[in-house]
Amino acid sequence: MPIPKQVRILYLNRHDKLERTLFRLKQGYELQFRLGPSLQGKDIHVHTNYPLDTHKFERHQFHLLNWQNTSGGDDSDKYCEIIVQMSGSFQFHFTEGNNQKESSGYIIVDPILHVGHDNQVLTLDSICAQTFLAKCLGPLDEWEDRLNVSKHSGYNMIHFTPTQTLGISRSCYSLADQLELNPEFSRADKTFNWNDVAKLVEKLKNEWKVLCITDVVYNHTAANSPWLKKHPECSYNIMNSPHLKPAWLLDRALWHLSLDVAKGNYQGRGLSVHIENEHHLNIIRQIIWEDIYSKLRLWEFFQVNVDKVVADFRNVLINGEKKKCDTKQNLKVIQDPEFKRFGCVVNMSLLLKMFVPHGKSAHEIDECCGWVFRKMEELNMERYHEVHSHQEQAVNCVLGTITYERLAGHGPKLGPVTEKDPLVTRYFTYDFEEVPFEEEEPMMYLPEKAAYFMAHNGWVMGDDPLRNFAEPGSNVYIRRELICWGDSVKLRYGKKPEDCPYLWAHMQKYTEITAKVFHGVRLDNCHSTPIRVAEYMLDSARRLRPNLYVVAELFTGSEDMDNVFVTKLGISSLIREAMSAGDSHEEGRLVYRYGGMPVGSFAQLSVRPLLPKIAHALFMDVTHDNESLVQRRSAHDALPSTTIVSMACCASGSTMGFDHLVPHQISVVEEERLYPKYNPNALPDSPGELSEKSGIIAGKRAINLLHRELGAESFSQVYVDQVDEDIVAVTRHSPNIHRSVVAVSRTAFRDPTNSHYKTELPTMCIPGKIEEIVLEAMTVQRESAPYKKDKDFINGLPQYTVDIREHLQLNQSRIVTAKETSKERNDYVYEINFEHFPPGSVIIFRVSLDPEAQYAVGILRYHLIQFNPFYEAGSIRDLKAPPALTQSFISTTASLSLSDLNMLLYRCDFEEQEDGAGCYNISNFGPLKYAGLQGFLSVLADIRPKNDLGHPLCENLRAGDWMMDFISNRLIARGGALEVVGKWFEAMFSYLKMFPRYLIPCYFDALLIGAYSVIMEATLDRMSSFVQNGSTFVKQLALASIQMCGIGRFPALPQLSPSLKGVPYRLNYITGEKEQCCASLAAGLPHFGAGLFRCWGRDTFISLKGLLLVTGRAPEARNIILSFASTLRHGLIPNLLGHGIYARYNCRDAVWWWLQCIQDFCTLVENGEDILKCTVSRLYPTDNSPALAPGTVEQPLYEVMQEALQRHIEGVEYRERNAGPHMDTRMRDEGFNVSFGVDLETGFVFGGHRYNCGTWMDNMGESDMAQNRGIPATPRDGSAVEIIGLCKSTVRWLTSLSKKSVYPYTGVKGQLKGKEVFITYEEWDKKIQDHFEKGFFVSGDPNDPNEKYPNFVHKKNIYKDSYGASSPWCDYQLRPNFPITMVVAPELFTPEKAWKALKVVEDHLLGPLGLKTLDPDDQVYCGFYDNSVDNDNFNIAKGYNYHQGPEWVWPIGYFLRAKLHFSKMIDEKLYEDTKYLVKHVLSHHYDHLSKSPWKGLPELTNENGAYCPFSCETQAWSIAAVLDVLYEL
């Protein structure tokens, strides 16, 4: 069996916001786009920039994807696909018709990394990365010796800070030339270039199996970059960004303040060069406000020249022309784009509209100009206040910076103010000769100088990372909110390469050089890098290295915002910092957060929905931006914390210096010393050399190798246990081989040498069999000289090392003792006692299942291979298989009948109770919906995707074997083919019961899923080609025929003729005698599943075509038709069947639905007309005969049909047998009187009266409080429209049959005007045809001669619900019944009139799942059905409004079929548009069906599709009606 292809399905829905949702895929996966409910039936086009075929990726080039599986009647299986074969970020969007983009999103495809000469795959979860500051590696020919430390420490990836020429600050991230290798890597006699670096990188990949990545810095360049002098347009300077002029002026003023303070010019005011206290800060605040702001007058850059505006206004008043303007605008200051003092303006036209002089005299004009003057002063004052708030923030930020840099205990304590260490970092470059401040402002307006006043880069705390803080509209620089990097200039790309050609080209070359040499990149300062720039550069890099590994560290403050960068840039891993954890509990939580599934997780299906994920993590114990762990916590914490980090199921990383315990942060700016080289014999205090005994290197090597092993071998499940406040246990588990590694770490967030730690530690339990101790290690002190910071080499604490022992047996441990505490049911549990486990220690166990459990797992996996080859790993061939397992499950299920499948899959609680049992009940959850497999799988379907292992069902499985025994024992007790299946489950469960309890839920699910998939295939193979070739929707609906059609303990149907062939028999469970066991249809579940109330004539025959004929179940359909035929009495078949003995003959429509089904049977089934001759054993051959035994009186079916028609023509009046309150407590005495007949003038069947309800809208009032007891809510007496349609369909069909001599009768005898007449079916058909639209169409024309009651018309262009009702206004109510007639007798309708009527239904009655049963404009409409409410409201008490508004599902099928029929008659385009509508409407049913635990469609919903708790959860006719639509499509 081939390994199934991994397919992920992304459902598209209208209004989805997916731009910030992270979808990750692996190469080789198939991504399918499918339409969600809101888009099915719509003209949707999906576009993507994923390249088709072998075309290269172009971000802005989108392709239209072609839909597949479009031939079905619905859109449930329609999809378009991408087979992802390349890594990166790819966008998709969809449109409807020719409209604009509706919604869009991104998919991220992980790169595939290779190492070694043989290109072994390095999984992302196996990465162990270490950061090196490139400038500390020395000449290139010494790198290998220094990097050897990383190799011997077990790392497989090295991250270099930038290797280019550095700027004057010597910061690793301030690059002077992005295209040149740092010349410091060369020697006087040897110059190295990029080719030499590339050779080293390739050697490390092939020989060391180590990949190399480096940083790319796009956001800034060194202030002394030579190319920047030639191309100042690449910066934000005050010439191309004049909005920065006020900020530049403030920056210069603060610089001069620094110089003055440094010179001692403010000592007279109490401010010396030493800023030491709050008093000094207050003096600075005062100086800024009084000396600087007052002189700068920054507000003038934001104000208008009042005199000039007034003069211009006066001039226009006297001489100018007024222009039209939008007077809805507010008058405001329009900012001068060049930011000159008083350069702002206002809208003069608006000013002229607002201020109009009373006349033209000089005095009146002066008066008006005075108004304008005051308004301008007011506007200027508003701008003044705005700038004042900027200045307040600027002062606060300046003082905050000074406080941190000079006063704070955790700050750098810069010392005296000097030119080198000014009060605050300058925000702009200034490369000209220093001049007095007063002479600097004019320089702003000199282009040759202004272009070189360039803004520095930095970061803004809490800022929107998607906003460029240097662009117009941002006030970051004037408010001094930038934490500034004074060595770097922020780069100004613009929005596209054409905006700054040199910069884009320069950075693209830089990117290409990097991509050629290195295997991946770290995006420095990613959150401040313009996304469009990073996209462009990474696209260039991936063209050269398709499997580029991209990492970044984001400081956006939100996962939602992180996803913006991850999705658009295709970031492979996000750097996550363990140093952000304040205690061991938080550190453990981060392990759980950043990778892996819970232990015992469910095996996910190979074809499943694409779910959002969090970004893959590169989890680092420390980054080069963090302060040293020795400073922050303690040296003892290095080993346990790095172990916790390495046990995370993601990439792990560290920074060179962490492992050999460098006790300070290695500054990316100031550090100039070299890293030590590797020497296995290095002494502890040898500053330039390291060995395994240095710091924790020996421990780190073992831990890194273990991390790589766990990642490569898919130990993908994680469990984190907080043993106590300092001890964290992390388990990594393999779901394939069920082995685990448990790492227990005792952290030391506080220094153990001067902090108290507990000596008595809690015990810990490890389930399973401990195979070995992988390692145990302690941080220990040794004899050495005290630490002294070396001047040449980056040295660590020499006094610490790791005492490590590897691959031990339990009894060899010095840290723990262990005893086996439980062996019950093959559950080994070891109780671990920590004998000597000081802070700074770790112990790692390798654990397997006990041998018997491991064997049972292997055997069960072997038997599961038949369902999924995934289980081949870890399987053991079953050489002693029990008899039940010696054949495949396909063979085991081969002899199951469809009725057996009803028992195997379904049966609700009421059905099971009939057999003395019930559905399985789960504590804290309740009973399942079905006793069969679907009951369990419906719950598991919700649990599985979320891995909700805490669900009560999982708790139940872990607690005992009751659920497994229920499934197998229930089937075994049934005997026959079900017993064989039950024994198969029993045998499979016997292995599962030997598993550790935590594994039982996932394997229980796998077993049921595998069995269910085989059963589904077997079930569908026995159905019609329409079902077998149909969509998923069709198949799910077809399964409802299994759900609804079954055989209970007591046969629900009357017995058929003993002479009839093809009738199923069984032995009675009590007498042992042979009895008929025909399958019957339940009306709905759970309320109508068993007993007397299971079978209803009307429900059965509305449902029979869809559930049995369309699905290919003709034998069951035949037996049901003939069984009901046997009960014919008074020319009717019963409403409530009651086994035939307790039948109620109180409905007028069931017989017509029965006749329609006979017609459908003859039409749809091969040789279907043979049914007309089938023998019917009459239960009641006369109206008054007692129930007769089968075979007593027998007739062919056509005679029974003829009797029904003849009795209608003759007319019938009778009183129900056993009438009275003991039979029906709701009915008035008059209601038991039944009458019906045919109007021989019109051919219309009529019947009923105001006290009974003989159609499907049959709710009888039962509230004494509301006084509606015994009053039908919808009597629908007279001629109900759907009965007329069914009658017309029948007589039309019989006309045809009689002409072919298939039906021996040509008509019926009746009384017309006192004379007996013979009416042929052809004549009857014509009468209805001639009178239907005259009697039923409501034109709305008051002069319509056919309209008896024009005053009752409140909806025109519809068809009446009835004709001749005792309450005439009822005829005119808009209800969903006339579309039924349109389907069964479309010839009665003028297509154009029919279409208008259907439009009214669509506009007023159509809901999400059903049709409203009454016009919402009707005064008695109420769309919410609540049968529990009893009050004095006549219209709703005790659910009186059952058919007065709630939205019933089954009529929607007829509405949609009518739409399809008449649109096709009218216009081909209209038909195509209607098909879209039908598919869209049906999408809601598919959505409901997919999500429903009942796997069905409800009887009804409340208004607008709201859930109705009083409805059957799954209803036969609802499902059948939708199947009928799909069959026609």
Active site residues: 524, 527, 625
HSE-CB of 780 using CA atoms within 13 angstroms: 13
Phi, then psi, of 953 in degrees rounded to 5: -65, -45
- The whole-angstrom distance between residue 846's C-alpha and the CA centroid of its chain comes to 36
Query: Could you tell me if 39 and 53 are in contact, meaning their C-beta atoms sit under 8 angstroms apart?
Result: no
Q: Which contiguous run of DSSP H or E holds residue 537?
A: helix 531-544
Strands 549-552 and 573-577: what pairing?
parallel
Query: Could you tell me if 45 and 64 are in contact, meaning their C-beta atoms sit under 8 angstroms apart?
Result: yes
Instruction: Please report the beta strands in 793-860, taking only residues with DSSP state E, as ranges in sequence order.
Output: 800-808, 816-822, 829-834, 841-848
Q: For tokens 């079900």, name the residue.
A: 978
Tokens of 1413: 């049963």
HSE-CB of 432 using CA atoms within 13 angstroms: 17
Q: Is 1204 helix (H, G, I), strand (E, B) or coil?
A: helix
Please give the Cα distance from 490 to 456 (Å, whole number): 5
Please give the Cα distance from 157 to 1275 (Å, whole number): 81
Tokens of 1385: 């007798």
Q: What does the buried/exposed string (b/e) look like for 934-953 if buried means 16 or more CB atoms within 10 Å of the residue's CB?
A: bbbbbbbbebbeebbbebbb
Residue 628 is classified by DSSP as: P
Q: How many CB atoms neighbour CB 1193 within 10 A?
A: 16
Residue 488 is classified by DSSP as: E
- The whole-angstrom distance between residue 1067's C-alpha and the CA centroid of its chain comes to 51
Which is nearest to 169 in space by CA: 222, 219, 216? 222
Give the torsion through C-alpha atoms of 1049, 1051, 1057, 1061, to 10 deg. -50
Q: Which residues pair with 115 in a beta bridge?
A: 120
Strands 164-166 and 211-216: what pairing?
unpaired
Phi, then psi, of 169 in degrees rounded to 5: -75, -15
Please give the Cα distance from 375 to 381 (Å, whole number): 10
- Angstrom CA distances, 43 to 46, 530, 574, 913, stand at 10, 36, 38, 49
Query: Could you tell me if 533 and 568 are in contact, meaning their C-beta atoms sit under 8 angstroms apart?
Result: no
Q: How many CB atoms neighbour CB 447 within 10 A?
A: 11
Secondary structure of 218-278 in HEC code, one letter for each residue: CCEEECCCHHHHHCHHHECECCCCHHHHHHHHHHHHHHHHHHHHHCCCCHHHCCCCCCCCH
Q: Is 1428 helix (H, G, I), strand (E, B) or coil?
A: coil
Q: Which residues pair with 490 in a beta bridge?
A: 220
DSSP per-residue letters across 544-611: H-TT-EEEE----S-HHHHHHHHHHHT-SEEEEEGGG-SSHHHHHHHHHHTS-EETTPPPPPSEEE--
The residues, ordered by sequence, that sit 6+ positions from 1070 with a Cβ below 8 Å of its Cβ are none
Q: Which contiguous run of DSSP H or E holds residue 1338?
A: strand 1337-1338
Q: Is 1287 helix (H, G, I), strand (E, B) or coil?
A: helix
